[in-house]
């Protein structure tokens, strides 16, 4: 069982506000007042349905999850309040995120090793640009196929990419 909360791109969910000039900035924390790119994850990808925020020391970027009542998604983001077995799933609207609320539900996890080029990422290290899926041939197609429900974790493609399946 895992605690699953929801977020959307709004300032309430993502901790940003607009200045008097209309520029989005971080509302609190060590980056308070710095410019905020709306809708981008910590890996530099655009957040969309299927984007998951997780603790990267527990679930590396690229980890694929099957969430009961939501579907499949990929860990592409992190958050200050997201620690351990707690994930935050992306919705397009604030209303959808509020309707989801906070749930403790079963989640199936396929761990994907985090990499930048040929180097492994250290826990908590940010991609600061492209996600590992764009840098490692095979993982992008595996993530896309698993998310779309075309491949299964037992497929030959999944075995070559090296995920580890577990139920949480």
pLDDT, residue 139, reads 42
pLDDT at 149: 54
- CB pairs under 8 A, 24+ apart, for 28-33? 29/80
- Find out whether 132 and 115 touch, Cβ atoms under 8 Å: yes
pLDDT of residue 51: 96
What pLDDT, on a 0 to 100 scale, did the predictor assign at position 122? 52
Q: Are strands 86-90 and 102-105 parallel, antiparallel or unpaired?
A: unpaired
Residues of the chain with pLDDT under 50: 118, 120, 123, 128-141, 150-163
Give CA separation, 21 vs 18, 25, 28, 33, 35, in Å.
7, 11, 18, 13, 12
Query: Which pLDDT does position 146 carry in this prediction?
Result: 55
Q: What residue spans define the domains of the chain? A: 2-8+41-167
Fold of 2-8+41-167: Barwin-like endoglucanases (2.40.40)
Write the DSSP assignment of 100-138 as a string of letters.
H-EEEE-EEEEE---EETTEEPPTT---SSS-HHHHSTT
Which pTM was predicted?
0.67
- What per-residue confidence (pLDDT) applies to 162? 45
**31's tokens:** 């980056």
Task: Decide: 134 and 141 in contact? Cβ < 8 Å.
Answer: no
Model pLDDT, residue 39: 84
The predicted pLDDT at position 74 comes to 94
Q: For residue 165, what pLDDT is reported? A: 56
């Amino acid at each position: 069982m895992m605690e699953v909360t929801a977020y959307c791109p709004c300032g309430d969910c993502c901790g940003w506000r607009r200045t008097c000039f209309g520029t989005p900035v971080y509302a609190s924390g060590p980056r308070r007042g710095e410019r905020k790119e709306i809708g981008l994850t910590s890996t530099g990808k655009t957040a969309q349905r299927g984007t998951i925020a997780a603790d990267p020391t527990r679930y590396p970027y690229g980890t694929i999850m099957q969430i009961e009542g939501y579907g499949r998604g990929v860990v592409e983001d992190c958050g200050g309040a997201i620690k351990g077995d707690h994930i935050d799933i992306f919705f397009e609207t604030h209303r959808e995120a509020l309707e989801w609320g906070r749930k403790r539900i079963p989640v199936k996890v396929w761990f994907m090793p985090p990499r930048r080029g040929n180097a492994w990422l250290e826990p908590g290290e940010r991609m600061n640009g492209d996600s590992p899926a764009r840098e490692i041939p095979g993982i992008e197609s595996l993530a896309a196929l698993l998310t779309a429900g075309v491949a299964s974790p037992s497929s030959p493609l999944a075995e070559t990419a090296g995920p580890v399946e577990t139920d949480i």
